Structure 1
Amino acid sequence: MDFPDTHAAAHPERPAYIMADTGTVVTYRELVDESRSISKLMWSRGMRHGDCVAILMENKAELLKVAWAAQRIGLRYVTLSTRLLADDVAYILGDSGARCLFTSRDLQQIATAAVAELPSVAHRFIVDDPIDGFESLSAATKSMDETVLPTEREGVDLLYSSGTTGRPKGVVAELPLHPLGTPPGVAELLHRQWGFDGNTVYLSPAPLYHAAPLRFNMTVHRYGGTAVVMERFDTKRALELIERYQVTHTQMVPTMFVRILKLPAETRSAYNLSSLTTVVHAAAPCPPDIKRAMIDWLGPIVHEYYSSTESDLFTALNSQEWLSHPGSVGRSLVGTAHILDDAGQEVPNGEPGTIWSEGGLAFKYLNDPEKTASSRNEKGWTTVGDLGYLDDDGYLYLSDRRADLILSGGVNIYPREAEDALIVHPKVADAAVFGIPHDELGEIVHAVVQPATGVNVTPDLEEELLAYCQTRLAKYKCPRHIDFEAELPRHPTGKLYKRLLREHYSNRTPA
C-alpha cells in the first residue's frame, strides 16, 4: 500500500514537502495528522463520498493538506485557478456543486464575492485569521469532536479545463471509492515511466491548482519522497533549489525552459545540477530549438509527455527518442492515438488531422452532455480537439488546437510554427501568433511579441523579427505585422489565452 499514512508510520519526521520561500517543512506525520483532522471536520459537516469541495488558494502549505483530506474520505475536490475573477470562481463553484470552500487571506475578496449568491457553498474556511463569512480552518479543526470517524475511501480530483477558448469545463473521472492506499493510474505511471519512488526529491515550480503539479506532488507523497514547492517560479531560484535540496526530478513547461535558457551562460553554470536525473515537460508544445538546447545543457535526462486534464491519451518519449524524432511528443502509453480528417476517416501517416484516442481513460464533461457527446465518435474514441499527425514509427506530433488554426485564403496555417521561430530570437521573451479578420483572405497571420528584458521597441524591431521569421518559414506562414506587449496573457502552465488576443484584435483593420 502506497499512501502518506504508510510513510508517516515508518518515517514520521521525513519531509513530505518543503515550501521554498518560507522554508516551512511539513513532515509525513504532520501531513497525515492534519489531513485527518480536516477530513473529520468535513465529515462532521455532512460531507460524504462523492460530494465536492473546492480549494481557492495560492501555493501554500495548507493546500496539499486539504487535498489529501478530501482524497482520504472519498470526495471530489476542485482546485481553482488563483487568476480567475470572482464571476468565474462562482461559475465553477456552482457548476461543480461544491458544498465546501477553502481559501486564504490573499484571495478572500474574490472568495467572498464568489460565494455571495451561492448558499449551496455552506461551509467556508480560511487558512488564516477568520473573516466575515469564513471560519478559521485551524480553530475549526481544534474545536471539533474527536469521536467523528469518517469512512475512509480513495477520492478523486475534479479539475477544470484551463478555459483558453471559452468557459472552463469540469472533467469528471470515475469515483470507484477504492480502499485507502489504492494508487490511481497516474501514480503507477509516474513510478514506472520516470522512477518516482521514496528517494525522489521533486521540485514543483508551477501552481498546484493545475492538474499535473497537483497529481505529481500527490504521487511523490504516495511513494514517500519529498517535494520542494515553489510559491512562484523564478529562474535563478529554481536552479538554486535544485542545488540546495539535491533535487532528482522536476516538471516544467516550455516557457520556463525559455526563461532559464535566456539566463547568461555563466549564471546557469554557477549551479550544481548533477543530482537531476529526470526533467519532465508538457502542457504546451516545446519549440524544437529550445528542447535541443535543454538536452545539450543537461544531457539526455529531458523527458516529454502529451496529455490533457481529460487524460484519455498519454504519450511520452525520452531524449534519445526525441533526437531521433525531433518535434515529437512520443508514442502512446495510455490510449492509442489515431488521426482523423473532418469526415472521421483516418489519414495517412504524416498528414495532419484531429487527434483521437482509442481505449483511453473514461471521462465526461460535467453538466455538458453535448460537449461530452462531441468528444466521442461512433467507435467510442475520444478527442479534446488537438491537431497533429503520426509518423511511420507511431510517434505523435502536435500541430495546434483546432480553435487556433488560421484559415487564410483557403490555406490552413498552424500558428505554432511561427511562434517556434520567433521565440528563439534573442530579443524575444514570448510570442503569440493568431489569425485576425481580413476582408479578402478571411484571416491573416498576426503576432504579438513580449520583448526580452532590456530590449527597446522601435520600428526597426518589427522589421527585424519579420525578416528573421521569413528566413525560417515560408512567407505565407509568417505574420504580416507584429505588435508588442509588456506581457502576454499566458496561463502559468504555459498555455496562451489566445481567445483574449483574438478578441482584442478582432476589430483591427489589417494593412
Structure 2
Amino acid sequence: MQIREHAEAHPLKPAVVMHPSGLTVTFGELEARANRLAHFFRKHGLREGDAVAILMENNEHYHAVMWAARRSGLYYVPINTHLTPAEAAYIIENCNAKAIVGSAALRKTLEGLAAEPSNGLPQLLIVANDDIEGWHRYPECVADEPDTPIDDEIEGDLLQYSSGTTGRPKGIKRELPHLPPSEAPGMMSMLVSFWLEPEAIYLSPAPLYHTAPSVWSMTIQAAGITTVVMEKFDAEGCLDAIQRHHVTHGQFVPVMFTRILKLPQDVRNSYDLSSLKRVMHAAAPCPVEIKKALIDWWGPIVDEYYASSEAIGSTLITAEEWLKHPGSVGKPMLGAVHICDEDGNELPPGQAGEVYFEGGNDFEYLNDDEKTAKSRNAMGWKTVGDIGYLDEEGYLYLTDRRHHMIISGGVNIYPQEAENMLVTHPKVMDAAVFGIPDDEMGQRVKGVVQTVDPADATDEFADELLGWLRDRLAHYKCPRTISFEAQLPRTDTGKLYKHELIAKYS
C-alpha cells in the first residue's frame, strides 16, 4: 500500500483537501512530509512494533503522520479528541506509546497529560503549529530531514481503540505483517477497485480518529484519489462540500443521513449534488425509512457494508440489492457468517442470535486476555457482540447490540427497533431507547428524544409521540415514558453512550 507511485506520477494532484478552508496537500507534498517524519521517528529511536499516539483534530497534518508511522513499521493510535486528559493518558499508557503527535487545537489536552498520574509521558513529543515546553514544534522540527524514504521501510498498522460506550476503551491489535510496504497486503483494495475510478473525488466527513475514516481515506489515497476531509461535520456543510468539490463518492454513518434529511426542504434543494455516483455507509444500522428517503433523493447509489474495527469479517449490500432486501446489511465479503444462541448452537434462518464470523482476520484486545477469549467460541469463530439473523438467501439483518438488550418481565427487547421508528417522526432528530431498573419487571423501557425544534420538547408532545409509536410497534417494545434532551450523547460515528442516559434516568 503506497502513495509513492502517485506522488512520482502526479506530484501536483491534490491528495487532501480540507473543507471548508480549502487547504490542500498534494501527493508530492504528502509523500515528502511522510518521509521527513519517518526519518524523525527513526532518529528518536522508534522501531518496528512501537506505537505513536495521535491527538489531533481533522487537519492537514493527520495523513502525513499516519503514512509516516505506517511506513516505519509503527502502530499509529488515533485518539478521540473529545476525551479528557485522564482518558487520553489511559490509552497512551495502555498502548505503551513511544511518541505523541498533537496539535494546537488540542493544546489543553496535551498540557493536561503531564498532570496525570502514570508512568510518565513518552520521550518524543511533537505538536503541530504550536509551542509547548518540552514538545517539538511540527513541521519545523522535521524541516532538515530528508524527503526521501528511510532505508528500512516496513509496514505498520492502525491500533484502534474502541469507542468505550460500555466501559474503558480497548485497543484492537493485529500482528504486523513484517513485510516492506510494497509487499504488504493492501487495506480494502478489493473494495476500492470495484467501487471507485481513478478520477473520483472522495468525501471523508467524519473524524479521522475513527477506524473507517482513517482506513478508507488512506486506502483511497493509495489508489491515487483525492480525499476531501471535512474539518467538522455539519449537515449543510456536507452538501456544500459535495457541490463545491464535485464529490463523486463518500463514506457516511446513518446519523449523518438523518441530520441531512432533517434540513429544511429549500436548503436541501439549493445544492447541486449531481456529481455523486456512489456513497457507502456503515458503523450502525440505518433505519429503513431513513435510507429509503435518502435513495428517493440521491437515487439508488447508497451502498452499505457491515464490519468492525476488529476486522473479523464484513458484509456488503448495494443499493439495488437493498431495495429488494430492505434492512439487510448484505452478504459476506470476508469470512462466513454464523448466528449462534447463548449456548453456542448455530441457529436456522430467521432466528436472531449473536453474529459470528469464520475465517476473518485475527486480533487481540490489548492487555485484556479475558475479553479476547470471550470474542471467540469453541469453533474459533469471532464476534463483537452484535445480534442479528440470516434470511433464506443468506442476507444478514442486524437487530441490536448484545449489551443493549432490555429484559422486562422475562422478555428480551431489542431497543433498536423503537429507536429506528422514532427518528422517522418529522419532529424527532434523534432518539435513544434503553432499560432502567423496575422493581416489578426487572427493567422497564425508557425513551429519550432530541427534537428538531427545541420548542417541541413538551409533555404534550411526549404523550403524542408515545401514542404514535404504539400505533406502529407492539406495546411491550415501546417506552413507558419519553423524556427530552437538547443533544444525545453520541460518538461522531453515531454510537450512543447509553450508560450516561441510563445513569441519569435510573
Class of the TM-score when normalised by the shorter of the 2 chains: over 0.9
Equivalents in 1 of 2:287, 2:186: separation in Å? Answer: 29
Q: Is the 8 A contact 2:32 2:148 kept in 1?
A: no
**Cα displacement (A) at 1:319:** 1.1
Whether 2:335 is the aligned partner of 1:335: answer yes
Equivalents in 2 of 1:306, 1:21: separation in Å? Answer: 29
> Which deviates the most, 240-249 or 340-349?
240-249
Deviations 1:93-113 (A, max 9, x none): 011110100111121221222
Equivalents in 2 of 1:374, 1:458: separation in Å? Answer: 44
**Cα displacement (A) at 1:237:** 1.6
**Cα displacement (A) at 1:85:** 1.1
Is the partner of 1:61 in helix, strand or coil? coil
Q: Give me the identity figure in percent.
A: 49
Equivalents in 1 of 2:72, 2:149: separation in Å? Answer: 12
* Letter of the structure 2 residue corresponding to residue 21 of structure 1: P
Provide closer, same or farther for how the CA distance between residues 13 and 192 of structure 1 changes in structure 2, counting only shifts above 3 A.
Answer: closer
Equivalents in 1 of 2:170, 2:194: separation in Å? Answer: 29
Q: Is the 8 A contact 2:304 2:317 kept in 1?
A: yes
Q: Is the 8 A contact 1:12 1:28 kept in 2?
A: yes
Q: Which residue of 1 aligns with 2:44?
A: 45
Deviations 1:140-167 (A, max 9, x none): 1125588994411121110011111111
Q: Which residue of 2 aligns with 1:126?
A: 127
Provide closer, same or farther for how the CA distance between residues 485 and 454 of structure 1 changes in structure 2, counting only shifts above 3 A.
Answer: closer
**Cα displacement (A) at 1:373:** 0.8
Equivalents in 2 of 1:234, 1:156: separation in Å? Answer: 30
Q: Is the 8 A contact 1:44 1:148 kept in 2?
A: no
Task: Give TM-score, length-normalised by structure 2.
Answer: 0.97
Q: Is the 8 A contact 2:356 2:382 kept in 1?
A: yes
Provide closer, same or farther for how the CA distance between residues 149 and 454 of structure 1 changes in structure 2, counting only shifts above 3 A.
Answer: closer
Provide closer, same or farther for how the CA distance between residues 259 and 149 of structure 1 changes in structure 2, counting only shifts above 3 A.
Answer: closer
Provide closer, same or farther for how the CA distance between residues 7 and 148 of structure 1 changes in structure 2, counting only shifts above 3 A.
Answer: closer
Equivalents in 1 of 2:460, 2:121: separation in Å? Answer: 57
Task: Give TM-score, length-normalised by structure 1.
Answer: 0.96
Provide closer, same or farther for how the CA distance between residues 355 and 297 of structure 1 changes in structure 2, counting only shifts above 3 A.
Answer: same
Is the partner of 1:109 in helix, strand or coil? helix
Deviations 1:406-455 (A, max 9, x none): 00001010100110111011111100000000001000100111111353
Query: Where do 1:96-135 residues align within 5 Å?
Result: 96-116=95-115, 117-119=118-120, 121-135=122-136
Equivalents in 2 of 1:465, 1:149: separation in Å? Answer: 61
Q: Is the 8 A contact 1:427 1:455 kept in 2?
A: no
Q: Is the 8 A contact 1:282 1:306 kept in 2?
A: yes
Equivalents in 2 of 1:259, 1:297: separation in Å? Answer: 14
Q: Which residue of 2 aligns with 1:373?
A: 373
Q: Is the 8 A contact 1:305 1:316 kept in 2?
A: yes
**Cα displacement (A) at 1:186:** 3.1
Q: Is the 8 A contact 2:187 2:215 kept in 1?
A: yes
**Cα displacement (A) at 1:315:** 0.5
**Cα displacement (A) at 1:391:** 0.5
Is there any run of 5+ residues in structure 1 with no aligned partner, and where? 507-511
Whether 2:249 is the aligned partner of 1:249: answer yes
Is the partner of 2:387 in helix, strand or coil? strand
Is the partner of 1:203 in helix, strand or coil? strand
Query: Where do 1:15-54 residues align within 5 Å?
Result: 15-54=14-53
Q: Is the 8 A contact 2:177 2:184 kept in 1?
A: no
* Letter of the structure 2 residue corresponding to residue 340 of structure 1: C
Whether 2:318 is the aligned partner of 1:323: answer no
Whether 2:434 is the aligned partner of 1:429: answer no
**Cα displacement (A) at 1:44:** 0.2
Whether 2:305 is the aligned partner of 1:305: answer yes
- Number of matched pairs: 504
**Cα displacement (A) at 1:139:** 2.5
**Cα displacement (A) at 1:190:** 2.5
Equivalents in 1 of 2:59, 2:6: separation in Å? Answer: 22
Is the partner of 2:67 in helix, strand or coil? helix
Provide closer, same or farther for how the CA distance between residues 478 and 185 of structure 1 changes in structure 2, counting only shifts above 3 A.
Answer: farther
Deviations 1:229-268 (A, max 9, x none): 0001121221121122111110111111011111122322
Equivalents in 1 of 2:267, 2:459: separation in Å? Answer: 32
Q: Is the 8 A contact 2:36 2:148 kept in 1?
A: no
* Letter of the structure 2 residue corresponding to residue 370 of structure 1: E
Q: Is the 8 A contact 1:115 1:121 kept in 2?
A: no
Q: Which residue of 1 aligns with 2:292?
A: 292
Q: Is the 8 A contact 2:357 2:383 kept in 1?
A: yes
Q: Which residue of 2 aligns with 1:181?
A: 182
Equivalents in 2 of 1:148, 1:296: separation in Å? Answer: 48
Q: Is the 8 A contact 2:32 2:147 kept in 1?
A: no
Q: Is the 8 A contact 2:38 2:150 kept in 1?
A: no
Query: Where do 1:234-273 residues align within 5 Å?
Result: 234-273=234-273
**Cα displacement (A) at 1:457:** 2.0
Deviations 1:63-109 (A, max 9, x none): 11101110111111100000111111111001111010011112122
Q: Which residue of 2 aligns with 1:227?
A: 227
> Which deviates the most, 425-434 or 2-11?
2-11
Q: Which residue of 1 aligns with 2:494?
A: 494
Q: Is the 8 A contact 1:306 1:329 kept in 2?
A: yes
Q: Is the 8 A contact 1:12 1:29 kept in 2?
A: yes
Is there any run of 5+ residues in structure 2 with no aligned partner, and where? none
Q: Which residue of 2 aligns with 1:9?
A: 8
Q: Is the 8 A contact 1:39 1:150 kept in 2?
A: no
**Cα displacement (A) at 1:130:** 1.5
Whether 2:167 is the aligned partner of 1:190: answer no
* Letter of the structure 1 residue corresponding to residue 91 of structure 2: I
Whether 2:204 is the aligned partner of 1:207: answer no
Equivalents in 2 of 1:21, 1:274: separation in Å? Answer: 20
Deviations 1:263-286 (A, max 9, x none): 122322222212111111110111
Equivalents in 1 of 2:434, 2:164: separation in Å? Answer: 17
Equivalents in 2 of 1:188, 1:139: separation in Å? Answer: 34
> Which deviates the most, 111-120 or 483-492?
111-120
Equivalents in 2 of 1:263, 1:198: separation in Å? Answer: 32
Equivalents in 2 of 1:396, 1:284: separation in Å? Answer: 14
Is the partner of 1:276 in helix, strand or coil? coil
Provide closer, same or farther for how the CA distance between residues 503 and 184 of structure 1 changes in structure 2, counting only shifts above 3 A.
Answer: farther
Provide closer, same or farther for how the CA distance between residues 66 and 28 of structure 1 changes in structure 2, counting only shifts above 3 A.
Answer: same
Equivalents in 1 of 2:350, 2:58: separation in Å? Answer: 42
Equivalents in 2 of 1:457, 1:300: separation in Å? Answer: 35
Provide closer, same or farther for how the CA distance between residues 232 and 146 of structure 1 changes in structure 2, counting only shifts above 3 A.
Answer: closer
Deviations 1:40-68 (A, max 9, x none): 00100000111110100000111111011
Equivalents in 2 of 1:429, 1:497: separation in Å? Answer: 17
Q: Is the 8 A contact 1:73 1:150 kept in 2?
A: no
Q: Is the 8 A contact 1:387 1:402 kept in 2?
A: yes
Q: Is the 8 A contact 1:53 1:100 kept in 2?
A: yes
* Letter of the structure 2 residue corresponding to residue 224 of structure 1: G
* Letter of the structure 2 residue corresponding to residue 342 of structure 1: E
Is the partner of 1:285 in helix, strand or coil? coil
Q: Which residue of 1 aligns with 2:361?
A: 361
**Cα displacement (A) at 1:183:** 5.7
